[in-house]
Amino acid sequence: MPETQPKSVQTFLDYLRYERRYSPHTVTSYELDLTQWTAYLASAYESPAVGAVTASMVRSWLAEMKEEGISSRTINRKISTLKSYYRHLMKTGVVEQSPLTTVVSPKVQKRLPAFVAEQDMHRLLEDLPFAGDWQGISEQLIINLLYATGIRVSELVNWRQQQFDPSNGQMRVIGKGNKERIIPLSPELQQAIRAYIDARSEAFRQVPEVMVTHRGKKFTARQVYDLVKKHLSRVTTQQRKGPHILRHSFATHLMNHGAELTAVKDLLGHSSLAATQVYTHNSIEKLKSIFQKAHPKA
């Protein structure tokens, strides 16, 4: 942390880390935003006291970022960080009022989540071969798990054997905010997981996480990203090929086959329906296509 960083920032980050139990990645994101905010206050306003910060100071920072070509989506994230920070300062009695009260977030054009077509996922998992060595077997199971359960990469790489419940045909994962949720597993996926766990060598068994590389170490998020991109390139020209597109595909395909929105919300581990509703747009597009093909007056 920079020396000019207010003590209240460190207190806030500790609150996120130890009380809210946010992931290290999320805390780092908050820390980066607040470090940039503190640096701006130092350069533009000679580091005013926390209680002396005004809405005009916030707006001038936002205007500077806009001039630098920073996207509205990124600016909105930084506004959200500041709102959380000053809300915590009010809660702890450090300030009486937040300077963000009158700050308006820039509009962001809604972007529908990209997804892989069902036939492409079927071709990848059923028709195309994977390498027969341990790495190939691991990569195939990773893609299968991401697509068949909709879990996040962080949930996958930290998933442990005790969270696999074959007797009930389900798995437990620890999601954002340290929230646990249960996801059902198909008989085929249960069998694949069992076979994978049974095949792990003694050296591999020392690693508590289920998914391990050919060196007997847990997969990193970067490794998962690279392998997913590599294999999705075999079946789709979709520009986005990271692991999150498999989560989008999971949700979209469920909705296209009539799954209830609330059920998809619970499977994804969303805290509210608002985050899940974006997938209804893709379903509506499918309904339009069906209507145009089937209705005589379309």
Distances (CA, A) of 118 to 29, 77, 195, 252: 34, 32, 26, 10
Please state the rounded mean pLDDT for residues 255-259. 88
CATH code for the domain in which residue 195 is found:
1.10.443.10
143 and 277 share a domain? yes
| Contact of 22 with 69, CB cutoff 8 Å | no
- Among all residues, which ones are annotated catalytic? 152, 176, 244, 247, 270, 279
Q: Is the pLDDT of residue 2 over 50?
A: no
What is the mean predicted confidence (pLDDT) over 211-216?
A: 92
The CA distance from 37 to 23, in Å, is 21
Number of structural domains in the chain: 2
Under a CB-based contact definition with an 8 Å cutoff, are residues 207 and 213 in contact?
A: no
Q: Give the pTM.
A: 0.64
65 with 139, same domain?
A: no
pLDDT of residue 88 exceeding 60, the answer is: yes
**CB neighbours of residue 278 within 10 Å:** 15
Same domain, 122 and 244: yes
Residue 200 pLDDT level (bands cut at 50, 70, 90): confident
Looking at the fold, whether 46 and 145 belong to one and the same domain comes out as no
Q: What is the CATH number of the domain that holds 42?
A: 1.10.150
Same domain, 198 and 64: no
Nearest-5° Cα angle at 176, 174 to 178: 50
Q: In the prediction, which pLDDT does 3 show?
A: 46
User: Does residue 263 belong to any structural domain of this protein?
Assistant: yes
Task: Say what the pLDDT of residue 157 is.
Answer: 95
Q: Quick check: 270 pLDDT over 70? A: yes
Supply φ then ψ for residue 295, to 5 degrees: -90, 130
Is residue 251 included in any domain, yes or no? yes
Structural domain range at position 256 = 118-293
* Nearest CA among 3, 142, 23 for reference residue 13: 23
Task: Classify residue 86: in a domain, yes or no.
Answer: yes
* Least confident span in 205-209, 235-239, 284-288: 284-288
Mean pLDDT score, 24-30: 92
